[in-house]
């Protein structure tokens, strides 16, 4: 094999491996160190004052302004408690309880990361409007159709991610928070 | 054998390209948060960030239950004082550096019943202020700033339209301006 050909092989390998791995870690967010709790995942490194180089690159690329630990923490769930992807048009029930927080909000984003519009005009649900069961636990219905009790509207179709943001909460510090008890997302059915 | 050497050489070179790309991204990103928030209004005042779900493009992954405002500043013009009476609800303040790193952040609990009052200054400016401190110096929260430019973000819990109006009214009176030294 002539030298020039070997040089081309080396350069092609370098570019594919170098840019490919950079794209996977930064572009696809593989390197965003995650913090898992039940059905939920958070990325506290993104809101850290001293983020690692991958998180810095992800922040610069996406223009996110994430919550810092002194504000709160955002947990994301794209799958139900049976590990099936969450879909618009289906009905889910969020049960259990959240970690201690002064305030929490619940919302959803679509596959593009955008907050979908719902005919009810509602884009969120929060802890100051929640009705608790007699034993103090939560039951929030996620459905495209209006439901009695605690109802969070979701779209009629498409992939879905549920976002639970805990404000002023010890859960924002993974090192000291311990094991978090997060609500479960149970599938009820699809239309 | 020589082909194996070429591949190994390519892998090592690829590793270097990976590191340079990741480290270089914050420096060369043309569309980072600091750049994008400039489009929401002039520097040195709090401008509203569009709410997600309102139909207007906005920053990714914002909480739709909050009214959020941003103020850009540059410490080369002097230290920046951020103050205002916030509505009687949950709110947070965060100071980001020019690369969009959330460097300093607090919730309303840190202020008790007192209004928001923060001074962002670098080490040299803090030393100058200490020499001739203003009367309310002891009540001030001072942020020791390691960068030049940055932006402050106020997030006010505003689940309904009436809360949004209250938040807007408070923000209209809030300031985010260069403060005199001493």
Look at residue A79 in the predicted model and tell me its pLDDT.
96
Hey, are the CB atoms on A65 and B59 less than 8 Å from each other? Answer: yes
Q: Given a cut of 70, is residue A111 above it in pLDDT?
A: yes
Structure token pair of residue A93: 């029930």
**CA distance from start to end of chain B:** 71
Q: What is the CATH number of domain A34-190?
A: 2.60.120.600
Q: Given a cut of 70, is residue A15 above it in pLDDT?
A: yes
In chain A, positions 78-97, which contact chain B (CB-CB < 8 Å)?
none
Among B112, B108, B116, B174, smallest CA distance to B141 is for B116
Look at residue B182 in the predicted model and tell me its pLDDT.
59
Look at residue B137 in the predicted model and tell me its pLDDT.
79
Look at residue A173 in the predicted model and tell me its pLDDT.
87
Look at residue B43 in the predicted model and tell me its pLDDT.
97
> For B29-160, where are the alpha helices, taking DSSP H only?
33-37, 123-131
Instruction: Report residues of chain B scoring pLDDT below 70.
Output: 1, 182
Look over chain A and give the mean of its residue pLDDT values, rounded to a whole number: 92
Query: Domain map of chain A by residue range?
Result: 1-30, 34-190
Which chain B residue shows the shortest CA-CA distance from A27?
B22
Residues of A in contact with B146 (CB under 8 A): none
Which segment of A27-31, A154-158, B112-116 scores lowest on mean pLDDT? A27-31
Look at residue A32 in the predicted model and tell me its pLDDT.
72
Q: Give the tens place of pLDDT for each residue, B100-132.
A: 999 999 999 999 888 999 999 999 999 988 888
Among B93, B115, B13, smallest CA distance to B46 is for B93
Q: Minimal Cα–Cα distance from A57 to chain B, Å?
A: 5
Look at residue A31 in the predicted model and tell me its pLDDT.
67
Look at residue A98 in the predicted model and tell me its pLDDT.
94
Q: Given a cut of 80, is residue A116 above it in pLDDT?
A: yes
Which chain B residue shows the shortest CA-CA distance from A6?
B6
């Amino acid at each position: 094999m002539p030298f020039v050909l070997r040089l081309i092989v080396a350069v092609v390998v370098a570019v594919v491996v170098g840019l490919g791995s950079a794209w996977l870690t930064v572009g696809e967010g593989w390197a965003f160190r995650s913090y898992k709790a039940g059905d939920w995942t958070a990325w506290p490194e993104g809101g850290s004052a001293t983020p690692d180089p991958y998180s810095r690159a992800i922040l610069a690329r996406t223009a996110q302004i994430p919550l810092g630990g002194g504000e709160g923490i955002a947990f994301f769930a794209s799958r139900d408690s049976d590990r099936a992807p969450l879909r618009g048009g289906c009905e889910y029930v969020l049960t259990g309880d959240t970690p201690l927080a002064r305030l929490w909000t619940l919302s959803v984003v679509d596959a593009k990361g955008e907050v979908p519009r719902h005919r009810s005009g509602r884009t969120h649900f929060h802890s100051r409007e929640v009705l608790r069961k007699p034993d103090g636990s939560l039951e929030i219905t996620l459905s495209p159709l209006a439901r009695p009790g605690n109802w969070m509207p979701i779209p009629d179709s498409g992939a879905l991610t549920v976002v639970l943001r805990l404000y002023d909460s010890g859960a924002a510090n993974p090192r000291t928070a311990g094991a978090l008890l997060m609500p479960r997302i149970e599938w009820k059915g699809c239309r | 054998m020589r082909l194996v050497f070429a591949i190994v050489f390519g892998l090592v070179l690829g590793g270097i390209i990976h590191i340079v790309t990741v480290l270089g991204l914050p420096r060369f990103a043309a569309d980072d948060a600091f750049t994008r928030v400039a489009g929401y209004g002039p520097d040195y005042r709090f401008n509203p960030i569009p709410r997600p779900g309102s139909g207007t493009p906005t920053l990714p992954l914002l909480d739709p239950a909050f009214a959020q405002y941003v103020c850009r500043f540059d410490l080369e013009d002097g230290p920046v004082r951020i103050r205002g009476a916030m509505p009687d609800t949950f709110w947070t303040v965060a100071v980001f550096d020019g690369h969009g790193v959330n460097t300093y952040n607090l919730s309303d609990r840190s202020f008790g019943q007192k209004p928001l009052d923060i001074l962002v200054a670098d080490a040299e400016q803090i030393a100058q202020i200490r020499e001739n401190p203003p009367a309310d110096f002891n009540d001030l929260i001072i942020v020791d700033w390691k960068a030049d430019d940055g932006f402050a973000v106020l997030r006010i819990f505003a689940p309904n339209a009436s809360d949004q109006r209250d938040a807007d009214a408070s923000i209209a009176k809030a300031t985010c301006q260069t403060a005199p030294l001493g």
